């Protein structure tokens, strides 16, 4: 097995435009030994990741390098069931959104075979959490353990059925997300038409890692809606509010880098993110193709009649009680013929899971459009 580093170059849309070094290593790293080099050039890197968790993590790391303009160095593990491999990933922004990605094998050692790392293993009902970066396994009250130590502790050497694997990022590896201001996902990397853009604002303050687990990033990663669109999910860091986040510059970056239809930009958010979406829409009503605030504190404003809006709320919401926004809702019905509301009679604050699982929301949203921007 080769230990030479491999380097490849990605263009601004993550298409592989150059590969140097060992092809075997590239195929192995992407768990796709059947690939041939001539089928890879000119294709998006994300086609070559086996797991959506790994894909999503990698996407976030690339975004961080582009957004900060800094080289990102990440030690990571690429183990086989019976081999420990320590690797180093280096991502260098080289201008124009292009990145040079260098992957180096630092060390590999044989290890006692750990069957749960074998993709073909028979799985049981139980699940173990594995860190996507360092491949350590979460052990209740014992922190994060090496795979063989975890297998010993969980009694996995004496069983035919292995636990299912769920990927997370462990606290020691969380730093890799630092500096990532937003996540971007395109469900079609090479669209023939400009894509509609969905902007999703999360609730409360949280890391970009947790943000990925919310419904819009998750269903977009799997293309569960089976549509062509782009999703941008800005991050409101811990200790900040949406007032502090420069949404305008994030939008400008995304619009410059991807083919986006400026008449089809949709804003949706949950809780504090819904409030932010609503306030944003009221300052730029003519740019809103549609607005979908879910469980937000919404106040009347002079422009609220000027864009399509669908408000979702739970009748028993303890965080933003329905009476807080009922005045707004009745006023909105008078001034905005394109306003809809969905009140879940048995819903609390967390009604967004139901709302985003309802295809009616997405179908309605993607049918709306704004007037073309004045040139």
Binding residues vs Zn ion (CB under 5 A):
131, 133-134, 170, 173
Cα 309 from Cα 278, distance rounded (Å): 9
Residue 62 CB, shortest distance to Zn ion, in Å, is: 19
Strands (E), the chain: 6-10, 16-21, 72-77, 83-93, 99-110, 123-131, 137-139, 143-145, 162-168, 182-186, 195-201, 230-234, 260-270, 290-294, 309-314, 339-344
Residue 145 CB, shortest distance to Zn ion, in Å, is: 11
Q: CB within 8 A of 224, min separation 6: which ones? A: 218
Specify the residue, 145 or 328, whose C-beta has the smaller distance to Zn ion. 145
Residue 173 CB, shortest distance to Zn ion, in Å, is: 3
Specify the residue, 145 or 343, whose C-beta has the smaller distance to Zn ion. 145
Specify the residue, 174 or 228, whose C-beta has the smaller distance to Zn ion. 174
Residue 170 CB, shortest distance to Zn ion, in Å, is: 3
101 burial level (CB within 10 Å; 0-12, 13-18, 19+)? buried
Contact 267, 291 (CB under 8 A): yes
Residue 41 CB, shortest distance to Zn ion, in Å, is: 32
Specify the residue, 134 or 231, whose C-beta has the smaller distance to Zn ion. 134
Specify the residue, 133 or 230, whose C-beta has the smaller distance to Zn ion. 133
How far CA 33 is from CA of 52, 76, 310, in Å, comes to: 18, 20, 47
Contact 368, 290 (CB under 8 A): yes
Specify the residue, 151 or 251, whose C-beta has the smaller distance to Zn ion. 151
Cα 219 from Cα 217, distance rounded (Å): 6
Residue 133 CB, shortest distance to Zn ion, in Å, is: 5
């Amino acid at each position: 097995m080769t230990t030479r580093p491999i380097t490849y170059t990605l263009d601004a849309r993550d298409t592989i435009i150059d590969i140097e070094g060992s092809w075997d290593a590239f195929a192995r790293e992407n768990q796709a030994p059947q690939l041939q080099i001539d089928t890879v050039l000119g294709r998006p890197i994300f086609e070559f990741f086996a797991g959506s968790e790994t894909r999503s993590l990698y996407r976030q790391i690339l975004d961080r390098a582009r957004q900060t303009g800094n080289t990102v160095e990440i030690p990571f593990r690429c183990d086989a069931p019976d081999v420990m491999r320590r690797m180093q990933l280096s991502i260098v922004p080289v201008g124009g959104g292009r990145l040079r990605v260098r992957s180096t094998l630092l060390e590999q050692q044989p290890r006692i075979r750990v069957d749960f790392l074998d993709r073909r293993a028979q799985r049981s009902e139980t699940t173990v959490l594995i860190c996507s970066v360092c491949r350590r396994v979460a052990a209740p009250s014992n922190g994060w353990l090496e795979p063989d130590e975890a297998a010993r502790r969980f009694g996995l050497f004496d069983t035919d059925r292995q636990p299912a694997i769920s990927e997370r990022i462990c606290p020691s590896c969380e730093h890799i997300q630092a500096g990532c201001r937003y996540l971007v996902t395109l469900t079609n990397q090479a669209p023939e038409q400009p894509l509609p853009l969905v902007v999703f604002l999360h609730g409360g303050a949280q890391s970009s890692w947790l943000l990925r687990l919310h419904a819009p990033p998750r269903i977009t990663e799997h293309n569960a809606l089976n549509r062509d669109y782009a999703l941008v999910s800005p991050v409101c860091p811990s200790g900040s509010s949406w007032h502090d986040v420069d949404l305008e510059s994030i939008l400008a970056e995304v619009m410059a880098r991807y083919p986006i239809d400026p008449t089809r930009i949709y804003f949706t958010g949950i809780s504090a993110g819904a409030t932010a979406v609503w306030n944003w829409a009221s300052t730029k009503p003519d740019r809103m193709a549609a607005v979908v605030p879910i469980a937000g504190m919404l106040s009347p404003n002079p422009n609220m009649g000027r864009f399509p809006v669908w408000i979702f709320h739970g009748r028993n919401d303890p965080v933003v009680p329905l009476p807080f926004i009922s005045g707004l809702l009745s006023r909105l019905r008078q001034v905005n013929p394109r306003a809809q509301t969905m009140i879940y009679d048995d819903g609390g604050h967390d009604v967004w899971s139901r709302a985003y699982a309802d295809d009616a929301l997405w179908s309605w949203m993607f049918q709306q459009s704004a007037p073309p921007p004045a040139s």
